[in-house]
Structure 1
């Protein structure tokens, strides 16, 4: 970290954990718009307004978290808390930012459980079509950012073709590993960071965090009874540990675990995903809905902790390794390949299950096109478009 950033952090480092919690709770209640918007809110609040760290240090925090699997905006938030108050600050920042959306998604899940007929109305059809537009927009934006040249675009398309042919969870993992190997073999160009963030760590804790992450990941692949708390934990932990690219990319992983396995109808799954788009805070709070449907309040708590835990462990393990990653061309090229593979993963999910389960007529396709134009061209916020889509579906379908 730069010298001036360190001095500012020293001044702000006396903040108690409860103060950090309240700051992030306000952001968790008001941060609509997804990960990109969240990073903008964090920059405005903690770099410009409060001067917790410099622009360059913040840029490196964001770069590191985007390279790791898991929810990037949540990882940036807990890192900011960590830099202020250590592990207590990290816990306070994560809890404040995640709590509002997790509670709302749990209440929605419990509401569907008490009133199952509500999940069969036209508003569900409207939300499902809205999700098609949202995922299409995510593929478009991520494709432009992560596949700027022929080799990366080729990797993305080949990954999509492979997953549409063989869509099992193990194939998703294998495809991303192959994409990383291809990136390293092709030596894909990556901009080297010019920032100067360094995190001095004097203990062996980073290795301990990575060991816990790895052991839990191995345990998450053990066979468990569908619908049990252990099964919910395993499904969500695997998703949180293996998802590169943020909230939208978690969709195909969770669909494979909850819908393809028969644990949840596709309509219910996509309805919850649509509602999650309209929530403030991290999109990974969708996990609270899945856990709530399967196991009530206890299931929601297990699901939320499981999906966020691996990314948190990797942040604490990865902070000291950042200087190595940014200075080694081969590592950055492999990560570029993985990022291109993520676009292919999401492209395959756009067709199955998102498109195939929602679009069954020309009118439905017209609805999706109008929703996409609203998002991409007219810049209608997702938290406005989601309830409008539900209302339109109620009236039209």
Structure 2
């Protein structure tokens, strides 16, 4: 009782408001011109340089977003599920135009160029069930791309491990999750394991040595500020940025879409509806960032229910890394390969929608729970589990890359890891070098050593 009374008497801090009148409102054309150049950046890993680019464009140049707003957005997208760079673009576009349409425009300008290229390449590749039917140089380039892709996934896993694994609890969760994914290759196992990892982190990581125990763990939290009555928070037409009303509507819309997909999928048994629901769920559970979608997609499309073959899966991920735009454009490659352009568009929309609704729904409330210790511990546990899942993705991708030539693929994987980790090459450069090295390897065998390649004899 004494502790509760002490908490109640603490001064209440004013809630952070995203509605700052000093920022200007952009037009659709201005916002599109600001957003589409980001599609050409190598944004596969969100880092300080990309934060600086967002700041230069939206804060300094356009003056449509304030620095405090940008910092608040960065802190949220680093915490919540979803595609990090895509959510940043949605939030910045929404604030810049002071309406939800701005977020959609910014995301379309950012993601569409790469998505169109991936859809076209996927459609062409789907016409060749056996990749050895392709032109010999194209086939060799594909094997080099897949070998370099292993290095990119490994680099993502190392980066996640360095940031998330901080003690023996986190390490144990990562190892356990990797074992479970190999033993039970089902998406529901991934989801349950992630939730249990978060709960275990909360249970095991409070200061057990302190005599006050759990009460001290609770007292360390910052008191949740109350929601003040501010007329600026009311969603008035063309005057709001990200308001509480927009946030609540986003949560409602998310639930409505999910229920509609569940009903339609059960009523009509459509393959497109089924895979759209699958990708909608994948977009929901991207806790730990976009890389966690990789084992989810693998479990749903390759292992079960066999929508796509393994060759196409890892090639698609490599191309998504090499082409402009976010990693989530990988979804349009998978959908187009299995069900044509209509399937690709459905998968692409389905995986992006949860990220959009999450950023709209959570950003107005972020000030209320960003300092909550329980949520921080939960995320740390979930990301530790995701790291283990990503380790299994490294293994599966390496096995596929080595299918035709293990020594060459392994060497290219090792060289690509050096390029991306030590020499700081960007993803397109690493993928291109991998393809070139694989071609050079076999040209040397044919023309200089006069050896018959064994790669086509398997």
The alignment's TM-score, normalised by the length of structure 2, stands at 0.77
Q: What per-residue deviation string (whole Å, max 9, x for no partner) do you get for residues 363-394 of structure 1?
A: 32222111111111111211112122123223
Alpha-carbon distance between aligned partners in 2 of 1:84 and 1:52, rounded to the nearest angstrom: 5
Q: Of the candidates 189, 192, 201, which is equivalent to residue 174 of structure 1?
A: 192
1:17 aligns with 2:62: no
Superposed CA RMSD in Å reads: 2.9
1:52 pairs with 34, 57, 64, which one?
Answer: 64
Match of residue 31 from structure 1: 41
Which residue pairs with 2:432 in the alignment?
387
Describe how 1:41-120 pairs up with structure 2 within 5 A. 41-85=53-97, 86-114=99-127, 117-118=133-134
- Any unmatched runs of 5+ in structure 1? none
- Identify the match of residue 416 of structure 2 among 364, 371, 377: 371
The Cα of 1:309 is off from its aligned counterpart by 0.3
How far apart are 1:151 and its partner, in Å? Answer: 2.5
Summarize the Cα distance change of 1:188–1:386 in structure 2 as closer, same or farther, 3 Å threshold: farther
Q: Is the 8 A contact 2:148 2:416 kept in 1?
A: yes
- Aligned pairs for 1:138-287 (under 5 A) are 138-187=156-205, 201-202=233-234, 204-217=245-258, 228-260=271-303, 261-287=305-331
Is the counterpart of residue 362 in structure 1 residue 372 in structure 2? no
SS at match of 2:324: coil
Aligned partners of 1:174, 1:168: CA distance in 2, in Å?
10
- The change in CA–CA distance for 1:3 and 1:166 in structure 2 (over 3 A counts) is closer
Structure 2 unpaired stretches of 5+? 1-14, 208-216, 235-243, 442-454
CA positional deviation for 1:277: 0.6
1:269 offset after TM fit, Å?
0.9
Aligned residues: 389
Shift of 1:230: 1.0
Give the superposition deviation at 1:18: 2.5
- Does residue 136 in structure 1 map to residue 154 in structure 2? yes
Counterparts of 2:257 and 2:201, CA distance in 1: 28
Whole-Å separation in 2 of the counterparts to 1:372 and 1:183 = 31
Distance 1:249 1:355 in 2: 17
**Deviation digits for residues 349-372 of structure 1, max 9, x if unmatched?**
222x21222235233222211111
| CA displacement 1:87-122 (0-9 Å, x = unmatched) | 111111111101111111111112213455339822
Provide the rounded CA distance (Å) in 2 between the counterparts of 1:282 and 1:258.
20
TM-superposed CA distance for 1:123, in Å, is 1.9
Identify, as 1 or 2, the structure richer in helix. Answer: 1
Task: Verify the 8 A CA contact 1:133 1:372 in the aligned structure 2.
Answer: yes
Shift of 1:157: 2.1
SS of the residue aligned with 2:392? helix
Pair 1:323-2:367 in alignment: yes
Residues 35 and 72, structure 1, Cα contact 8 Å, conserved in 2 = no
